[in-house]
Structure 1
Amino acid sequence: MAVYIVRRLGTMLWTLLLVSALVFWIVNLPPGDFLSNQIAALNASGEAASVAKAEFLMQQYALDAPLWKQYLIWMGFYPGPNGFSGIIQGDLGWSFELDRPVSEVVAEALWMTIALNFFAILFVYTVALPLGAIAAVKANTWIDYLATFVGYIGLATPNFLLALILYHKGAQWFGLPVGGLMGKEFLDQPMSFAKLQDILVHMIVPIIVIGTSGMAAMVRRLRANLLDELSKPYVVTAQAKGVGPVNTVVRYPLRMALNPFVADIGNLLPSLVSGSVLVSLVMGLQTIGPILLAALRSQDYFLSGFILLFVSALTLVGMLVSDLLLAVLDPRIRFSGRRK
């Protein structure tokens, strides 16, 4: 297992390196960039001081260099005007639109995004697994019909519409705070127990909104998978031998039915991040989704490139976690292969 983890980490580094080159090339595909467009606009308006600052930033970050050299400087593999200063050295670049370092722009948003999506995944699995399992065991009963109804409602309701409903009713019926991930009094405050408590309360509605569609889809799939496992001969044999109903379902059939959902963890992380952009805009959440959208619109490619690279890293980490969990869940999986 240790050898497999080391090998996978090496593969992840090479994959992330290739993804970084692809991301940098994609964000530079549109003609021009933020500074070039700004310089053209400032020249037209005659603002010489602002033009000088924009030209300084262009030289400072080697934006007049060839694209391959810009990429190497951005990653920190090639010395730029400030020497070796790139992502691998901790310099994430400069947000030209916001006129701030990228690290300052995304610092709190990254942690908010990770926390929000972690709890959203926890909500999805906590609700979907027991509901889907009970629906399969109690197939064609009122419990199954109720789970099916919940699944259809979750799949048919757009996230942004559910966000608008809970935005109003959550506050009216349950007194839940909506809008943002913390109260205004905590926005510029350092982390404290009161701020953490306020963030957790603010997360309740966004977690339900973001996780509902994934939960509904998982309930339907788990029900179908588990029904298929329960009809197999080994389950019938176990029942004939007098194995208890709980062990008959949980010990093997449920574990086998869970394999696709554990394997989906790697895809679930980035899908939640990208799928929550509209929800974040509607609910005013301080996550990286709205920041990424604004950066892509303004061609602020240091900022957008880092966020896309971060989402790619989340995907790779999620895939590694899912593979390790599959090894624990399913004893038939062997990473080392057959020994000759």
Structure 2
Amino acid sequence: MDADIVKKEDGSVELRPSEDLSDVQKAIVIDRIDEYDWKARVVGVAELGKRWKRNSGGLELPDAGSLQERAVLFRSGYDGLLQGSLGKSDKYDDPVISLVRERIPISLFYGVISMILIYGICIPLGIVKAIKHRTWLDNVSSIAVFSGYAIPGYVLGSFLLVFLGARLDLFPLSGFVSENFSELPLGAKIFDLFHHAVMPLACYLVGSFAFMTFMMKNNLMDNLAADYVRTATAKGVPYSSAVFKHAFRNSIIPIATTVGQNVTLIVGGSFLIEGIFDINGFGLLQYSAILEKDEPVVLGVLTISATLMLLGNVISDLCVAFVDPRIRFG
């Protein structure tokens, strides 16, 4: 980037592109936060001459040649990606891949358990609600599900910490496991792990129940009203067979598409819930890296998240092909 950095008498900083640059070149966005904790940006001809003030004060400004375009910065951050290297964290002074390797299993534990409980409870509940539509069971379950949906996970977490953790002392207040976890026998380790996981899992589950339950219910009700189900029952097929053998399989197809979409959520976790319960998971790592401006960790997290999103799309296609008899590979 051909530009000059001019330090004014009042201490402010002005970035001036060279006059020989075209208007298009002048409008190129430069966004760089380096170890001096300052930002320089060219936003266009109309805003040229705007000042960017430094907050640290007293530090020598780098040369204009140290400024790089955004594409160059991302390329330099991914130099070792093919060798399995995501750089070294500026905050922890450890390789990013080692930080991710430590944090992902924690978020993965909560994510997998949450998805098993969500699909394992919401699908049967949706089926029952569709069959028992407009009965007392459907009405009561709808009130319970929507009440949980109205409460944000982090609000529920704060409530559980105060009442079940602090006042009643039923569950640990923070952490993934106890400090003496390594000294416990196998049975005590399993109990300690799930004892710490009860309140965080409740926060993970509360927001997803309504969506998944009513998706299953509405899909099944639409298929139960279809002509092929009425024809099957008219020809003597038992109602239970018409529901589970025909209508259910078509109703589960939209549910199958959500499996891959949840891959990023399963691994990524929730930084709000992890922050409330002081769980050093992958979500909290992302949040702290942004706050600390830890550029290598942020780039590493973006890389992993993008990879998981692509993997989730593949998993969704495979799940749909498994439940939909109309789709076959070959």
Q: Same fold (TM over 0.5)?
A: yes
Matched-pair contact (CA < 8 Å) for 1:266–1:320: yes
Listed one character per residue, the Cα deviations across residues 163-220 of structure 1 (whole Å, up to 9, x for unaligned) are 122224444669333422111234xx59984555533332232222112211221111
Partners in 2 of 1:275 and 1:111 — Cα distance?
10
Counterpart amino acid of residue 37 in structure 1: D
Give the number of the structure whose residues are more often strand, by fraction: 2
**What's the counterpart of residue 32 of structure 1?**
33
Give the 3 Å change call, closer, same or farther, for CA 179–257 of structure 1 in structure 2.
same
SS in structure 2 at match of 1:184: coil
**What's the counterpart of residue 137 of structure 2?**
143
Counterpart amino acid of residue 282 in structure 1: I
Partners in 1 of 2:313 and 2:173 — Cα distance?
33
Structure 2 unaligned regions, length at least 5: 1-28, 39-53
Matched-pair contact (CA < 8 Å) for 1:152–1:216: yes
Listed one character per residue, the Cα deviations across residues 64-97 of structure 1 (whole Å, up to 9, x for unaligned) are 7765455444333xxxxxxxxx122122211112
Listed one character per residue, the Cα deviations across residues 214-243 of structure 1 (whole Å, up to 9, x for unaligned) are 122111121111111111111112222332
Partners in 2 of 1:127 and 1:117 — Cα distance?
15
The Cα of 1:324 is off from its aligned counterpart by: 0.9
Matched-pair contact (CA < 8 Å) for 1:178–1:205: no
Give the 3 Å change call, closer, same or farther, for CA 147–328 of structure 1 in structure 2.
same
Give the 3 Å change call, closer, same or farther, for CA 29–248 of structure 1 in structure 2.
farther
Q: Number of residue pairs matched?
A: 281
Listed one character per residue, the Cα deviations across residues 4-31 of structure 1 (whole Å, up to 9, x for unaligned) are xxxxxxxxxxxxxxxxxxxxxxxx9754
Partners in 2 of 1:179 and 1:134 — Cα distance?
37
Aligned pairs for 1:107-126 (under 5 A) are: 107-126=101-120
Aligned pairs for 1:146-295 (under 5 A) are: 146-171=140-165, 175-186=170-181, 193=186, 195=189, 198-271=192-265, 276-295=270-289
The Cα of 1:302 is off from its aligned counterpart by: 0.7
Counterpart amino acid of residue 78 in structure 2: M
Matched-pair contact (CA < 8 Å) for 1:95–1:300: yes
Partners in 2 of 1:66 and 1:191 — Cα distance?
53
Counterpart amino acid of residue 36 in structure 1: Y
Listed one character per residue, the Cα deviations across residues 287-332 of structure 1 (whole Å, up to 9, x for unaligned) are 1112111211222111011112212222222221221111110101
Matched residues, percent identical?
26
Give the aligned CA root-mean-square deviation in angstroms. Answer: 3.1
**What's the counterpart of residue 22 of structure 2?**
none
The Cα of 1:149 is off from its aligned counterpart by: 1.1
**2:299 is equivalent to residue 305 of structure 1:** yes
**What's the counterpart of residue 19 of structure 2?**
none
Structure whose alpha-carbon radius of gyration is higher = 2
**2:112 is equivalent to residue 75 of structure 1:** no
Give the 3 Å change call, closer, same or farther, for CA 91–113 of structure 1 in structure 2.
same
The Cα of 1:281 is off from its aligned counterpart by: 1.2
Partners in 1 of 2:235 and 2:84 — Cα distance?
61
Partners in 2 of 1:198 and 1:330 — Cα distance?
41
Listed one character per residue, the Cα deviations across residues 31-67 of structure 1 (whole Å, up to 9, x for unaligned) are 423x2329x9998489xxxxxxxx9xxxxxxx87765
Matched-pair contact (CA < 8 Å) for 1:267–1:318: yes
Give the 3 Å change call, closer, same or farther, for CA 326–157 of structure 1 in structure 2.
same
Q: Give the TM-score of the pair, scaled to structure 2.
A: 0.75
Give the 3 Å change call, closer, same or farther, for CA 302–266 of structure 1 in structure 2.
same
Partners in 1 of 2:239 and 2:122 — Cα distance?
20
Give the number of the structure whose residues are more often helix, by fraction: 1
